[in-house]
Chains A and B, each alone.
Chain A
Amino acid sequence: MSLTETLPVPALAAPAAAARTAQLLAGLRSRIWRGALALILPLAVLALWHAATLNGWVAQQILPAPTLVWSTLFDLWDSGELWTNLSISLTRVAWGFSAALVFGLALGVAMGLSKTAEAYLYPSFKAISEVPVLGWIPLLIMLVGIGEAMKILVIAKAAAVPITINTQQGIRNIPQAYLEVARVYRFNPRQLWLKVIFPSTLPSLFNGFRYGLTNAWLSLVTVELLASSEGIGYQMVWGRQLFQLDVVMACMVVIGVVGLAIDLVLQVIETRLLRWRRAAF
Chain B
Amino acid sequence: MSTLSLNHVGKQYSVKGEQLDVLDDINLHIQPGEFVAIVGSSGCGKSTLLRLVIGLDDDYRGEIRIDGQKISGTSLDRGIVFQEHRLFPWLTVEQNVGLALENSPLSQAERRQTIADHLDLVGLKGFETAYPYQLSGGMSQRVAIARGLVNRPGVLLLDEPFGALDALTRANLQAELRRIWQQEGITMILVTHDVEEAAFLADRVIVLQPRPGRIKRIVPVTLPHPRNRADPAFVAIKDDVLSEFGHEPKPQLLEPVARPFGDYVFAW
A is bound by B:
yes
Task: Pick out which of these stretches binds chain B: A34-42, A60-68, A273-281.
Answer: A273-281
Which of A112, A183, A192, A199 sits near B90, CB closer than 8 Å?
A: A199
With A115-B262, A174-B261 already in contact, the answer to whether A185 and B102 are too (CB < 8 A) is yes
Pair B264/A187 contact, Cβ less than 8 Å: no
Chain A residues 255 to 278 lying within 8 A of chain B, measured CB to CB, are: 274-278
With A183-B56, A185-B76, A195-B102 already in contact, the answer to whether A177 and B266 are too (CB < 8 A) is no
With A184-B74, A187-B103 already in contact, the answer to whether A278 and B262 are too (CB < 8 A) is no
Pair B90/A114 contact, Cβ less than 8 Å: no
Please give me the residue from chain A that is nearest to B148 by CB atom: A184
Which of B73, B102, B133 sits near A279, CB closer than 8 Å?
A: B133
Pair B86/A178 contact, Cβ less than 8 Å: yes
Kindly state the separation between the CA atoms of A65 and B42 in the bound complex, as whole angstroms: 74
**Which of A114, A181, A274 counts the most chain B CB atoms within 10 A?**
A181
Chain B residues whose CB sits within 8 angstroms of the CB of A23 once the complex forms: none
Chain B residues whose CB sits within 8 angstroms of the CB of A171 once the complex forms: 261
Chain A residues whose CB sits within 8 angstroms of the CB of B134 once the complex forms: 279
Kindly state the separation between the CA atoms of A132 and B100 in the bound complex, as whole angstroms: 48
Pair B84/A177 contact, Cβ less than 8 Å: yes
Chain A residues whose CB sits within 8 angstroms of the CB of B260 once the complex forms: 115
With A114-B262, A279-B133 already in contact, the answer to whether A199 and B88 are too (CB < 8 A) is yes
Kindly state the separation between the CA atoms of A113 and B86 in the bound complex, as whole angstroms: 22
A200 at the interface (CB under 8 A from B): yes
B13 at the interface (CB under 8 A from A): no
**Which of B55, B90, B132 counts the most chain A CB atoms within 10 A?**
B90
Q: How many residues of B contact A (CB 8 A)?
A: 32
B265 at the interface (CB under 8 A from A): yes
Chain B residues whose CB sits within 8 angstroms of the CB of A189 once the complex forms: 266
Which of A178, A184, A278 sits near B133, CB closer than 8 Å?
A: A278
Kindly state the separation between the CA atoms of A189 and B267 in the bound complex, as whole angstroms: 12
**Which of A184, A185, A192 counts the most chain B CB atoms within 10 A?**
A184
B235 at the interface (CB under 8 A from A): no
B15 at the interface (CB under 8 A from A): no
Which of B103, B265, B266 sits near A185, CB closer than 8 Å?
A: B103
Chain A residues whose CB sits within 8 angstroms of the CB of B132 once the complex forms: 276, 279
Which of A188, A192, A276 sits near B89, CB closer than 8 Å?
A: A276
Q: Is the interface of A mostly helix, strand, loop or mixed?
A: helix
Please give me the residue from chain A that is nearest to B103 by CB atom: A186
Please give me the residue from chain A that is nearest to B135 by CB atom: A279
Chain A residues 181 to 221 lying within 8 A of chain B, measured CB to CB, are: 181, 183-189, 191-192, 195-196, 199-200, 202
Contact mask for chain B residues 202-217; partner A; CB cutoff 8 A; 1 contact, 0 none: 0000000000000000
With A177-B82, A183-B56, A184-B80 already in contact, the answer to whether A279 and B89 are too (CB < 8 A) is yes
Chain A residues whose CB sits within 8 angstroms of the CB of B76 once the complex forms: 185-186
Pair B264/A185 contact, Cβ less than 8 Å: no
B54 at the interface (CB under 8 A from A): yes
**Which of A187, A189, A276, A279 counts the most chain B CB atoms within 10 A?**
A276
Kindly state the separation between the CA atoms of A214 and B88 in the bound complex, as whole angstroms: 31
Pair A181/B99 contact, Cβ less than 8 Å: yes
Kindly state the separation between the CA atoms of A191 and B260 in the bound complex, as whole angstroms: 20
Contact mask for chain B residues 66-90; partner A; CB cutoff 8 A; 1 contact, 0 none: 0000000111100110101010111
Pair B264/A179 contact, Cβ less than 8 Å: yes
B234 at the interface (CB under 8 A from A): no
With A171-B261, A276-B133 already in contact, the answer to whether A184 and B56 are too (CB < 8 A) is yes
A176 at the interface (CB under 8 A from B): yes
Kindly state the separation between the CA atoms of A179 and B262 in the bound complex, as whole angstroms: 11
B127 at the interface (CB under 8 A from A): no
Pair A276/B261 contact, Cβ less than 8 Å: no
Kindly state the separation between the CA atoms of A75 and B79 in the bound complex, as whole angstroms: 70
Q: Which 10 A-B pairs have the closest CB atoms?
A: A279-B133, A199-B90, A276-B90, A177-B86, A186-B103, A184-B74, A276-B89, A276-B131, A179-B264, A181-B86
Report 17 cross-chain contacts, Cβ distance below 8 Å, ordered by A residue. Answer: A112-B261, A113-B266, A113-B268, A115-B262, A116-B268, A177-B84, A179-B261, A183-B74, A185-B100, A186-B73, A187-B102, A188-B103, A195-B99, A195-B102, A200-B88, A276-B91, A276-B131
Which B residues lie at the A interface, using CB under 8 A? 54-56, 73-76, 79-80, 82, 84, 86, 88-91, 99-100, 102-103, 131-134, 259-262, 264-266, 268
Given A115-B260, A179-B264, A199-B91, 15 further pairs, Cβ under 8 A: A112-B261, A113-B261, A115-B262, A180-B82, A184-B79, A185-B76, A186-B74, A186-B75, A186-B103, A191-B103, A199-B90, A276-B89, A276-B131, A276-B132, A276-B133
